[in-house]
């Protein structure tokens, strides 16, 4: 039983030392960060565009009336 646990522990340590999938995780985190920044930027841009159109609309309505 002890040798089985020892072998299992050794195999687990070997798996923990491998870095094969690390690049994929780093790329996924970078893409997620870029996507989050794009969504946040889009919301801020949409709010700014909404304010600009509202100002333009009030300026046009005051100049027509």
At 1-12, the pLDDT tens digits run 678 888 888 887
pLDDT score of 30: 93
Residue ranges covered by each domain of the chain: 20-64
pLDDT score of 6: 82
65 pLDDT band (50/70/90 cuts)? low
CA 61 – CA 65 distance, rounded (Å): 6
CA 45 – CA 38 distance, rounded (Å): 10
Q: What three-state secondary structure class fits 21?
A: coil
Q: Give the rounded percent of residues in the chain with a pLDDT score beyond 90.
A: 38
CA 44 – CA 49 distance, rounded (Å): 9
Quick: pLDDT tens for 18-46.
766 667 788 889 999 999 999 888 988 99
CA 21 – CA 26 distance, rounded (Å): 9
């Amino acid at each position: 039983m002890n040798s089985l646990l020892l072998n299992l522990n050794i195999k687990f340590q070997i798996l923990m030392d491998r870095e094969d999938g690390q690049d994929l995780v780093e790329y996924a985190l970078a893409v997620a960060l870029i996507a989050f920044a794009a969504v946040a930027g889009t919301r801020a841009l949409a709010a700014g565009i909404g304010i600009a159109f509202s100002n333009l609309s009030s300026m046009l309505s005051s100049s027509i009336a």
